[in-house]
């Protein structure tokens, strides 16, 4: 008899400096720096199959989405309007980064069958430099901010 594979859902709220990440079903929200090294360290802590949803935030979400895809997670870059409508639909009044991470994790856990994963070719390379380069920087921000994303 085949065993069902449990897929863990993660939601991330991203800004220029930090990423708030929630594993669906847990109350804890982890805050990491929005840097290649911090993202890589977080991804190494994940075991098993997973899916990650992140709101499209211009270019700030790209490094996380790219690294998560490389690590084998199914990545969903979602429209912020969809998250706003979901928030209203579940009557969640709180609006802050921690609550958003939890809401995005809930959204992808419950709605993933209706969503289309973001393909690796749409992510490209986010260009944050290597882990020893110090503060993150965007090497090609202009071309990335206009990149089209699948909905």
**3-state SS class at 5:** coil
What percentage of the chain has pLDDT greater than the value 90?
A: 68
Q: Which fold has domain 8-128?
A: Nucleotidyltransferase; domain 5 (3.30.420)
Give CA 109 to chain center in angstroms: 13
- Taking each helix axis from N to C end, the angle separating 36-44 and 62-70, rounded to the nearest 10 degrees, works out to 40
Confidence of residue 126 (pLDDT cuts 50, 70, 90): very low
Confidence of residue 95 (pLDDT cuts 50, 70, 90): confident
Q: Can you give the residue ranges of every domain in the chain? A: 8-128
Which of 24-33, 47-56, 111-120 bottoms out in mean pLDDT, i.e. has the lowest?
Answer: 111-120
């Amino acid at each position: 008899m085949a065993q069902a594979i449990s897929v863990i859902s993660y939601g991330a709220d991203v800004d220029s400096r930090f990423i708030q990440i929630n594993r669906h079903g847990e109350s804890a929200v982890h805050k990491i720096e929005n840097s290649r090294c911090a993202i890589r360290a977080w991804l190494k802590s994940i075991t098993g199959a997973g899916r990650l949803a992140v709101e499209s935030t211009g270019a700030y979400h790209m490094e996380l989405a790219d690294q998560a895809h490389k690590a084998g997670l199914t990545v969903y870059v979602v429209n912020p309007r969809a998250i706003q409508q979901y928030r209203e639909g579940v009557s969640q009044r709180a609006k802050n980064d921690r609550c958003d991470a939890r809401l995005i994790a809930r959204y992808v856990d419950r709605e993933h069958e209706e969503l289309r994963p973001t393909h690796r070719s749409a992510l490209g390379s986010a260009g944050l430099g290597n882990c020893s380069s110090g503060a993150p920087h965007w090497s090609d921000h202009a071309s990335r901010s206009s990149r089209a994303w699948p909905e």
